Amino acid sequence: MAPALIPNAVPWPAGWVICLLLLAGCASAPLDRTELMPAPAVFEAGAIDPFAQVLPEGRQLESEILFATDRDPATAGDVERHYASRRGYLVRLGRAEITHGDGRLTWQQARRLSLQAERRTPYRLQVNAVEELGVLPGSISPFTDPALLSSDEETAAAEFAAAINAKLARSVSRDITVYVHGFKVPFENPLLVATELWHFMGYDGVMIPYSWPSTPRLLAYFSDVETTALSAHYLRQFITFLRDHTDAERIHVLGYSAGTRLVIEAVSMLAMEGGTAARNSRLGEIILVGSDYDTGLFAAAISNGILDVSERLTVYLSDIDGALRFANRVFGRKRLGQIMNEDMPAHVRSLLLQLDDLVLIDVTDAERADARSGHSYFRDSPWVSSDILATLAYGLGPAQRGLARRRPGLPIWSYPEDFIERLRVRLGTVSGRADHPIHSR
């Protein structure tokens, strides 16, 4: 698309380069390590303890995380260590070892350091050993090269499911959360992000990163966007596998940035299957953060029944997301993760106000929502991370979590100034129950 055809476009090349740089918010550097995200604000002051449910004999850092990917395994000519940024045309299942800090952190040291609002000592996470168990049988097609397959794919899938079930068996929660990353990141990034989210959930339930073949290059945005359509097909197969072969009570999906494309299209495919399979999807919370998705296509997904196969779908919106402003310029259409208010037709407002299973949340005024171009607020904002983790752990609606309507007649929720205090009170009320993973002290 020529820049001249884009409404209000910035002249090439300077304007486009600046816009592309904004998308760096989806990336992490260096490739295989990261600093632990800021502690969710709801855990400050020790009123709510995400680790309280962990029995004394189980108080050790979780070093193993399971993963699924449709990336191609790295070869000798690749810069990547484990999986490349190429399409693999199969879903591969495996597990990875994650090192916390320098590898010598005790449980109590890690707990204390990770919950600090301002850390004086860095808390690093790093991907070390990666083991592939095998290929997901459901992802094999007539076009698959037989040389890529082994004779024990069913065994590998069974081992992966058994590993999930073992983690569920020792958890209070029987839920799985699948994290789907954004543009411009390598294989390791979603493993690290999923680990830190799981850490602040007290390692309860199971967190599984789904790593699709995005490319760690700024100018790969357009090819990555095309790749999401194929990866959505594989994500649907993976969700179906979790539904049919694990003991999960619910399967939550958290999508970020370009990864929300996969999530929306995969869940749409599940909805269009119809029948018992669609009704019994076991999908719980579907959460879309910084969504780089066309609003018209999202409306079509709703028409296809995307709300019928999950308990609730939450879309986080921002008026200060620089990366989505770039995407808006490129495609000439508003993105799903941008604010919808004055330009929302009256009939759309009326419809959205009636949909309890579709929640729109404005994060613009949340603490530190403007960090790093305003696109990575689900990790950078202690308010937003508190809200997301509370949703996954408790299944509470926005009003129950302390959010308020931005104004009467508008189907958008926002964070009041006392949001964290409200959330603490609510979690303090429900967290003492034995069926919830986060407990008050």
The 3-state DSSP class for residue 402 equals: coil
- Please state the pTM of the whole predicted model: 0.91
Beta bridge partners of 126: 33, 99
For the chain, helix (H) and strand (E) counts, in that order, are 13, 14
**Rounded Cα gap, residues 140 and 312, in angstroms:** 31
Residues counted in the chain: 441
**Rounded Cα gap, residues 181 and 27, in angstroms:** 10
| Closest alpha carbon to 74 in 180, 154, 188 | 188
Q: At residue 165, what is the residue type? A: N
Ordered per-residue pLDDT tens for the chain, 441 residues: 333 333 343 444 444 444 554 454 454 456 799 999 999 999 986 778 898 877 666 567 888 999 999 999 999 999 999 999 999 999 999 999 999 998 888 888 999 999 998 898 999 999 999 999 999 999 999 999 888 888 788 999 999 999 999 999 999 999 999 999 998 899 999 999 999 999 999 999 999 999 999 998 877 888 898 999 999 999 999 999 999 999 999 999 999 999 999 999 999 999 999 877 677 889 999 999 999 999 999 999 999 999 999 999 999 999 888 888 888 888 878 899 998 766 788 888 899 999 999 999 999 999 989 887 878 899 999 999 999 999 999 999 999 999 999 888 889 999 999 999 999 999 987 755 544 554 443
Contacts of 125 (CB under 8 A, 6+ apart): 33, 34, 35, 36, 98, 99, 100, 192, 195, 196
The pair of structure tokens assigned to 130 is: 């990666």
Contacts of 260 (CB under 8 A, 6+ apart): 180, 288, 289, 290, 291, 292, 293, 336, 337
**Rounded Cα gap, residues 223 and 331, in angstroms:** 14
- The DSSP code for 408 is T
